[in-house]
Chains A and B, each alone.
Chain A
């Protein structure tokens, strides 16, 4: 299956190696000048070229705000976002976002959704139709080309959205908790599927999540973020071999070691997002650690 995907990707036109996205001293505040609410606080990091960078942090830490800044849907209060060294201020197709919940257009079929981007840029004809079929094929939805989003399951919707982003071949692909809300089974399948897609294209990807297992399984580099306001706490290089399978990673000692390291940092951050005096997060993470010490 992996080979098959690679061959199919190989038949596509020359692939770009992806871009490099840099966040330089970015802060973002809302509210008035007198009562500013700082959501992102002097944050700097790099999404490296041709790597899958995973950003993990507690929920409500400002990650989605960072996504909107990265895609230039909003402007930072100070600092800059740079793509391949150039400052970016307007949304463009080099930085495409796959949103938390599906943002497929409900009034378009899968096929129409996928060709929306290329058509908007003036592409048409047989080459576009081929590219669209190829993209839909790659996410395994060729039976559902003429279905509307509300006729697709949650997992299919996410796949359709992946196809819609992939066909635009963005320099950087930004995925904001794309598998949130899926059931455990579907989520696992989607993770493996997405890992294959990445391994076959090797573009630059930024994947945002709150799920540590998902993060370790997918990441080349792991950005651990602080609790609100958002800052970079630590970078962990995840040098697990590719292609990866979920089953291998779950049982891998190296993966569990990385996970423990990441968890101990996240532990502090997660606690901050709980109310003061609430011990349940503490207990939860302790028991989580126990399980992994005794197991494997």
Chain B
């Protein structure tokens, strides 16, 4: 069942060629689409307002040496890692306890289920009020984004363990602790990894929105890249400053950051769960 979620990614030459061609075509389409108005006087809807990739690249190139831009990366990553890390550290034991202890489940799950549908962004005003610093508020909201996903996945994974695994472990003389450590934990690991990668995605969505809404927290750093309040604030700042190219730069930066994060999770997953690797 897990195999379905893992289409083996073959980095053959053909696959690479297709990726390169597809991206090139998309960029060419974008360039032509947004320049069309300059050439013919008839501006295309939607794409005609977007700055062309050549201009975006130029702006990006100028930002490479900009401290504020990299500060935005750094701050967003820090918040994502902080929130995500806290969600893992608290979510895995919490989910395990929910799955394995009936009393705890009956006590804690109803509350959890009432809080879960509240979108993390709905917490923004409350978080700003409750937490002493802006930074903590953002971290808390990021944490919430990943926490629910991780807990639900851990509970689901730990509850769907094949009963025979546990029965035969006890029959072979294993203690409860051994069964937990050597049977329950590893068989939940695939779900934990899925929860982590989905949670990581949610974390990026949430951190960017939280930065935009809360104004980016501390205004460290300087330079043309904004006030250094994270990539979300970088985009917002570019919008208020009227630099449309920078908006695009910020957006693509988030895409790249998210891709790096999920690749890291996948690599880590292959590392700690080598039996799941496609043959």
Contacts and interface: CB of A to CB of B under 8 A. Distances in A.
A and B associate:
yes
Interface of A: 68, 71, 73, 91-93, 95-97, 99, 103, 105-108, 116-117, 120-121, 148-151, 164, 168
29 contacts: A71-B167, A91-B167, A92-B173, A93-B171, A96-B168, A97-B171, A99-B164, A99-B168, A103-B162, A103-B164, A105-B165, A105-B183, A106-B187, A107-B187, A107-B189, A107-B275, A108-B186, A108-B275, A116-B182, A117-B173, A120-B169, A120-B174, A120-B178, A121-B173, A148-B275, A151-B279, A164-B172, A168-B172, A168-B173
Contacts of B165: 103, 105
Nearest to B162: A103
B175 interface: yes
A106 B275 contact: yes
B273 interface: yes
Interface string B22-41: 00000000000000000000
For chain B, the bracket of interface size reads 20 to 34
B279 A150 contact: yes
Interface string B152-173: 0000000000101101111111
A99 B174 CA distance: 18
Contacts of A168: 172-173
Q: Report the 9 A-B pairs with minimum CB-CB distance, sorted nearest first.
A: A117-B172, A120-B174, A107-B186, A103-B164, A148-B275, A91-B171, A121-B173, A93-B173, A73-B167
Given A96-B168, A96-B172, A148-B274, 16 more contacts: A68-B167, A91-B171, A97-B168, A97-B171, A103-B165, A103-B168, A105-B183, A105-B187, A106-B275, A107-B187, A107-B189, A117-B174, A120-B169, A120-B182, A151-B279, A164-B172
Given A105-B165, A150-B279, A120 B186 contact: no
B172 A120 contact: yes
A105 B167 CA distance: 12
Contacts of B171: 71, 73, 91-93, 95-97
A97 B189 CA distance: 26
A164 B178 CA distance: 17
A47 B173 CA distance: 23
A148 B276 CA distance: 9
Contacts of A117: 172-174
A116 B275 contact: no
Contacts of A121: 172-173
Nearest to B182: A116
Interface in B265-279: 273-275, 279
Q: Does more than half of chain A's interface fall in helix, strand or loop, or is it mixed?
A: loop
A105 B175 contact: no
Nearest to B272: A107
A117 B186 CA distance: 17
The CB with the most chain B CB atoms within 10 A, among A71, A91, A99, A107, is that of: A107
Contacts of A107: 186-187, 189, 273, 275
Contacts of A92: 171, 173
The CB with the most chain B CB atoms within 10 A, among A103, A121, A151, is that of: A103
Contacts of B275: 106-108, 148-150
Interface in B134-148: none
Contacts of A73: 167, 171
A73 to B, nearest CB: 5
B172 A105 contact: no
B5 to A, nearest CB: 15
Contacts of A120: 169, 172-175, 178, 182
Contact of B169 (A68, A71, A116, A149): A116
Contacts of B175: 120
Nearest to B186: A107
A116 B172 contact: yes
A106 B28 CA distance: 47
A108 B182 CA distance: 9
A29 B172 CA distance: 27
B81 to A, nearest CB: 27
A52 to B, nearest CB: 20
A95 B167 CA distance: 12
The CB with the most chain A CB atoms within 10 A, among B164, B171, B174, B175, is that of: B171
Contacts of B274: 148
Contacts of A71: 167, 171
Nearest to B164: A103
Contacts of B189: 107
B183 A91 contact: no
A14 B162 CA distance: 35
A97 B183 CA distance: 17
A68 to B, nearest CB: 8
A106 B171 CA distance: 18
Contacts of A103: 162, 164-165, 168
Interface in B60-97: none
A117 B162 CA distance: 18
Nearest to A117: B172
